[in-house]
């Protein structure tokens, strides 16, 4: 069965950096776009980044562009998100999710439980 | 930017039918997706492409979409259905509604 397990979340000071990882299993990892979505009590869900199956395509929301970098290691079935220049507004639970293509559009068919990132001085 | 609006909360008695709405400009022209979020669990896709249900999702969940509003319906609501529900559609990127907390009283 499809499993996505995030790790790497932590408490970090404003301006700091962090690297999140997502271990995938149960499917052919390289065949799928993968994405990061963050969840906050105040703002709900926010889609922040995706990466193509072979890593050649990436998207970032305006809120993280220039500060976050998505990457993947298909040999290890792992997805990563490098966070830098963190602010308190980046405090959230970060979920990785699989994107599946259907009828001209994508949706997020499997998600991980998430990893907590807290930015505080 | 495109926005989806959901009621912050909906309450329902066990066994009754709950309806959660999601509104956006010309939403009926887009596919709508619904996700269930429970604390400490992986978010769950419960509806895709307006009305389709993944094979492992109970038939008690159904949905519709027309005009500017999509509606998620939960029939025979059970305590285990208590969760946050989010609608999602695509504009220039994925857009989520603000989420609705379903309380089963």
pLDDT tens digits, one per residue of B49-83: 999 999 999 999 999 999 999 999 999 999 999 99
Residues in chain B with CB shorter than 8 Å from the CB of A46 are 96
Residues in chain A with CB shorter than 8 Å from the CB of B95 are 47
Contact between B42 and A111 using a beta-carbon 8 Å cutoff: yes
Chain B touched by A30 (CB under 8 Å): no
Report residue A43's pLDDT band, with 50, 70 and 90 as the boundaries. confident
How far apart (Å, rounded) are the C-alpha atoms in residues B43 and A106?
16
Contact between B96 and A45 using a beta-carbon 8 Å cutoff: yes
Whole-number average pLDDT of chain A: 96
- How much of chain A is in helix, strand and coil states, percent to nearest 5? 5, 55, 35
Of the listed ranges A3-7, A21-25, A104-108, B43-47, the least confidently predicted one is: A104-108
Q: What is the pLDDT of residues A56-107, one digit of tens each?
A: 999 999 999 999 999 999 999 999 999 999 999 999 999 999 999 999 888 9
Report residue B92's pLDDT band, with 50, 70 and 90 as the boundaries. confident
Contact between B45 and A110 using a beta-carbon 8 Å cutoff: yes
A19, with CB counted inside 10 A (0-12, 13-18, 19+), is middle
pLDDT over 90 for what percent of chain A?
A: 94
């Amino acid at each position: 069965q499809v499993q996505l397990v995030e790790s790497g979340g932590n408490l970090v000071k404003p301006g700091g950096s962090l690297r999140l990882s997502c271990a995938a299993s149960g499917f052919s990892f390289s065949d799928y776009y993968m994405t990061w979505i963050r969840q906050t009590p105040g703002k709900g869900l926010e889609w922040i980044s995706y990466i193509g199956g072979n890593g050649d395509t990436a998207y970032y929301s305006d809120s993280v562009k220039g500060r976050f970098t998505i990457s993947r290691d298909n040999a290890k079935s792992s997805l990563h998100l490098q966070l830098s220049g963190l602010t308190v507004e980046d405090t959230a639970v970060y979920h990785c999710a699989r994107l599946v293509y259907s009828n001209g559009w994508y949706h997020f068919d499997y998600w991980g439980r998430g990893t907590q990132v807290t930015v505080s001085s | 930017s495109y926005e989806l609006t959901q009621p912050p909360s909906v309450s329902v008695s066990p066994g009754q039918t709950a309806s959660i709405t999601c509104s956006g400009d010309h939403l009926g022209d887009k596919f709508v997706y619904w996700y269930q979020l429970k604390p400490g669990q992986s978010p769950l896709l419960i509806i895709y492409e307006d009305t389709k249900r993944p094979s492992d999702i109970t038939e008690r969940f159904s949905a519709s979409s027309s005009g500017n509003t999509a509606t998620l319906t939960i029939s025979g609501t059970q305590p285990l259905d208590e969760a946050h529900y989010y609608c999602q559609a695509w504009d220039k990127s994925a857009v989520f509604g603000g989420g609705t907390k379903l309380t089963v009283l």
